[in-house]
Structure 1
Amino acid sequence: MKHITNAESPSGARQGRRVVVTGVGAISPLGLGGEALWEGLLEGRCGIRPLAAPEFAGHPVRIAGTVPVDPLDLLPKPQARRMNRAALFAVLAAREAWQDAGFAAEGTTASGLDPERVGVCVGTIIGGAPVLVDGDRRLRDRGVRAVPPLTAPMTVPSQAASQISLDLRVTGEARTVVSACASGTEAIGQAIDRIRYGHVDVALAGGAEAAVTPEIMAAFAAMRALSARNDEPEAASRPFAKDRTGFVNAEGAGLLVLEAEEHALARGARIYCEAAGWGLSADAHHIAAPDPTGGGVAVALRRAIADADGSPADVVHVNAHATATVEGDLAEAAALHTVFGDGEGTVPVPVTALKGNLGHLQGAAGGVEAVAAALTLHHGTIPPTLGCDDLDDAIPLDVVRTVPRPLPGHGDLVLSNSFGFGGHNAVLALRRG
């Protein structure tokens, strides 16, 4: 196949093949599967729970968004023992997305695909760092011989992508993106381009994370970034709310199957929506805090819209990053007001934030929220924002609250935002299929 050059049209949209979403998969604090995620969001359920394990005793924060099933029970033990927890989540979400797209569970060859024309791209932050921490404990407590022989390959952040590749026999490419909490969204964007320009025809893309550990929880607590509502975990994550007190750490994975449109149509695939574009920017402001003006975020929003060959008027919904930190929510609201606002009034685009249900899945947040955004377009329904009982007066947004809302009929773009420490900003643009 002749590769299409990476050229931009005068309108700003990149030229190349149209990319569509044909499968979704997720494992999250709301349960196993994309259906559990979607139903939980519509019903306003919360997956944030107490951390009762002894290693969290004495911690100032003892709540997190934890997956309610043990992934070790869902895969063959010889296979599962070779994976870190994030990779386990990634493989489970990838398997669901793969079969949801209509492919055979056995992988690429059984699906009639050329495995060299299929790729994987997964975002993560911590990856297998908890495995390294465990190895260090064993070394200190019991000596060199106590360190497991697979500690090194289970530690690398790329293990999630490589394990999906192994599980589904994908040989085209297995890529990893590490850009703080923007990782999952950026991974999807990179996969879109790999299909657009002819490198692969199909890709599994999203994010996976398993960072609910005593060390990570202690580190975030030391930053005073976490909500410490230990006595009311289901009310701890409060995006855009006046009384928000910080984010809630969480774990899970979310994957999309992306496919060249002509490839999907040739096999009669069901299409959720178009993966129309994406945008990146960097704040260059602070090691952890966002630019309070939202300037960098506004650049990423505009780039995603332009990459989708659209305009702000085409956007009918924004799935916000909204971690429930004071500074982060204000910066995102300022950016949305810059791009979509009209004078001093409320931004007219309906916005929702899912971290009240899920907590903050770190590098997996963009993947899981992209699954939700694709399902929002597919079903024509916007899930409500849990925890925002009293909207901050300084946030001029139309936040969908209390009950789901029909997706507006005008326009056709939905944006999904992800931002991370160090000023990483990534925005995904999806279009009605």
Structure 2
Amino acid sequence: MMHDCTQLNEERGLSQLPVIVGMGGVNPAGRTSGHQGYRRTVLDALPQEEQARTLLGLAAMMRLARCQDDGSWRDANGQSLDEADIVERFHQHVLDHTLIRRIEDPRFTTDGIPANRQARLDIEAPLVFRIRRRQLPDSLPETWQVHEIDRRQVEVTVPPGHLDVMLPERRMAQVRAAGQLPQGFDPSRFYRSVHHPRGLSMTVFGASDCLGQSGLSWEELRERLDPDAIAVYAGNSIGQLDDEGWGGLLKSFVAGQRATSKQMPLGYGQMPADFLNAYVLGSVGATGAVQGACASFLYNLRQGVEDIANGRRRVVMVGTSDAPVTPEIIEGFRAMGALADDDSLKALDALTLLTDADYQRACRPFARNCGFTIAEASQFLMLMDDELALELGARILGSVPAVYTNADGWKRSISAPGIGNYLTLSKAVSLANQILGPDALRQRTFLHAHGTSTPKNRVTESHVLDRVAHAYGIDDWPVVAIKAFVGHSQGSAGGDQLVSALGSFAYGLLPGIPTLDAVADDVHDERLRFFSTPLSFQADAAFINAKGFGGNNATGLVLSPEATERLLTKRHDSAALERWKARQAVTLERATDYETHADKGHFQAVYRFGEGVLEGPELDVRADRIDIPGYGQPVSLSVDNPFGSIND
């Protein structure tokens, strides 16, 4: 019996195993569900049928072709096409307008970035100008003389002297490469988005994609679980800083614009979790967002993993959504010297002019490089304890036994390297050694490096990886650096790495580093294996590594579906696994149906604004439980007390 297996695990002192039962999101490679984004990164190594499927799905996502209700396809002009025509016609366009590329926002190309320049005018004769009354400053300089022309216009006379002004200008972008979502894809189109920051629209899409891919019914889960058995941990690294969020709020005064009522609340870094609870899942369980710079995804994942392992929660949605491709954020990182700007890229390859192909090669982990390439992404996972996953017949994509985090300790500067990553990776490898055994550790695991493409990272991270490999007797350890394809999505970077690892488990291919012409001379690679084209590799586990700004280090251990099933066999009896496999038929059918529709560009975001709203008076509050209308199970008030009683 399942209950007996769980009781036996408790007697052995075993924790619940956090298994991955759903994944969803979007990044510059494409959609996460169905491994579409992963397939884009190993495209040339896939069978022809899988290549065509990938290109067709991306063409639909980019609105180059549209599948009609009767199953026929048409292009944007209404011309009828078959699937083979679409793949042939749009093949190169899909390749050119996914992954890292020249920023397609016209502000970064021909128009220039709108800006103002401070100036002082020396006025030799009185300056006279006409202006609308409402455009006058609230507080006028004492020397200005204002004459009314009519109800709308006034004439202003400024006497000779000094006048401080802001002169509008257009500044040409110094950074023109970024990892952008596939051209033509707008996540806000799939639900009633009203001035939502891009990161929150990506959150709604990513979480909806995760639910669809899981093949599970969220309503059925809510019916059978105590609402407190569900949690959401989601956020990002720097909040929503585009014009609809804090970006527009902070520059509103100087830009002569009004702040809106939405910019302040929608800018918060935990808002992805808030949106999921309020509009996607309707969850009243635990919630939060852990910010850890570039390691934020893994920090949130750790929270969910520990909740499940310790029995505090049974289902957890974790993830991040970052949309930092804005002029101000890019300028901030450029001023730090962290980004691969145009001048640095030219100097790196002795070029006088950068082509589109050069921008596509901007990110070069562990090669001669000059800075990272910023990107946007949204990645979400649904975690579940192994007992519940077996009971439901969930589709198990892998498992996450643990995520480790450590700080750097004393530092020369907040951006300088430190020692924390040696600790996180070593702990993760030690756990893998205990779960899988030394032979599997050395022969059937690989590394998903942080791999930012900065000169400092290539030295410091490679030293961490190489030293740990030496400590555990690992030779020729494969290293994947997915940022070469999708760029650095800040807090979501670990999510990009993890879903890529799940793709490698499914297809047996590790993405190469296509921008790696040669490993840089200062990279420590005695025990590491770097490669530029996809590598055939059957893995039991992957290590997801993150070295975040400020000393936020994290490493997660992710087991493959096959290794997870072997571990489940040890934890549960064979009959339980047979029943699980039988129950999977319905789940897989739902998941396949969702992916088939998504490959045709048919997305339906879950967004339930104003549905089932409760404010308190509707609750039935008792001493042992709280009954909530619309939720199948009550919230139990039988809380654990590990501290004893003062009345004993």
Instruction: Tell me: CA distance 1:172–1:244, structure 2 relative to 1, closer, same or farther (3 Å).
Output: same
Matched residue, 1:325: 454
Q: CA deviation at 1:386?
A: 2.5
Contact 1:26–1:371 (CA under 8 A) maintained in structure 2: no
Q: Which runs of 5+ in 2 are unaligned?
A: 7-12, 45-94, 114-170, 346-353, 565-648
Q: CA deviation at 1:235?
A: 0.7
- Give the letter aligned to residue 453 of structure 2: A
Instruction: Tell me: CA distance 1:234–1:176, structure 2 relative to 1, closer, same or farther (3 Å).
Output: same
Matched residue, 2:416: 289
User: What is the aligned residue count?
Assistant: 410
Q: Which runs of 5+ in 1 are unaligned?
A: 5-13
Instruction: Tell me: CA distance 1:336–1:33, structure 2 relative to 1, closer, same or farther (3 Å).
Output: closer
- 1:385 is aligned, of 507, 510, 513, to 513
1-structure distance, mates of 2:440, 2:455 = 29
Contact 2:233–2:290 (CA under 8 A) maintained in structure 1: yes
Q: CA RMSD in A?
A: 2.6
Matched, 1:135 2:249: yes
- Give the letter aligned to residue 217 of structure 1: I
Matched residue, 1:40: 40
Contact 1:109–1:169 (CA under 8 A) maintained in structure 2: no
1-structure distance, mates of 2:404, 2:307 = 15
Matched residue, 2:480: 352
Matched residue, 1:71: 187
- Give the letter aligned to residue 215 of structure 2: G
Matched residue, 2:402: 277
Matched residue, 1:59: 173
Q: CA deviation at 1:347?
A: 4.5
- 2:426 is aligned, of 296, 302, 306, to 302
2-structure distance, mates of 1:402, 1:331 = 21
Larger C-alpha radius of gyration, 1 or 2? 2
Matched residue, 1:406: 536
State how 1:32-431 maps to structure 2 within 5 Å.
32-34=31-33, 35-43=35-43, 47-51=99-103, 52-54=105-107, 56=113, 57-68=171-182, 69-78=185-194, 81=195, 83-104=196-217, 107-108=218-219, 112-114=223-225, 115-130=227-242, 131-142=245-256, 146-166=258-278, 167-228=280-341, 229=345, 231=355, 232-241=358-367, 243-284=368-409, 285=411, 286-291=413-418, 295-307=419-431, 309-310=434-435, 314-315=440-441, 316-341=445-470, 347-395=475-523, 396=525, 398-408=528-538, 412-431=540-559
1-structure distance, mates of 2:236, 2:255 = 29
Contact 2:400–2:558 (CA under 8 A) maintained in structure 1: yes
1-structure distance, mates of 2:388, 2:221 = 17
Instruction: Tell me: CA distance 1:126–1:113, structure 2 relative to 1, closer, same or farther (3 Å).
Output: farther
- SS of alignment partner, residue 403 of structure 1: coil
2-structure distance, mates of 1:111, 1:407 = 39
Identity of aligned residues (%): 27
Q: After TM superposition, which residue ranges in structure 1, 4 or more long, deviate above 6 angstroms?
A: none
Q: CA deviation at 1:140?
A: 3.4
1-structure distance, mates of 2:378, 2:181 = 10
TM-score, normalised via structure 2 length = 0.59
Q: CA deviation at 1:32?
A: 3.0
TM-score, normalised via structure 1 length = 0.87
- SS of alignment partner, residue 220 of structure 1: helix
- SS of alignment partner, residue 261 of structure 2: coil
Q: CA deviation at 1:407?
A: 2.3
2-structure distance, mates of 1:240, 1:141 = 41
Q: CA deviation at 1:20?
A: 0.7
Matched residue, 2:17: 18
Instruction: Tell me: CA distance 1:273–1:110, structure 2 relative to 1, closer, same or farther (3 Å).
Output: closer
- Give the letter aligned to residue 532 of structure 2: T
Q: CA deviation at 1:263?
A: 0.5
Q: CA deviation at 1:124?
A: 1.2
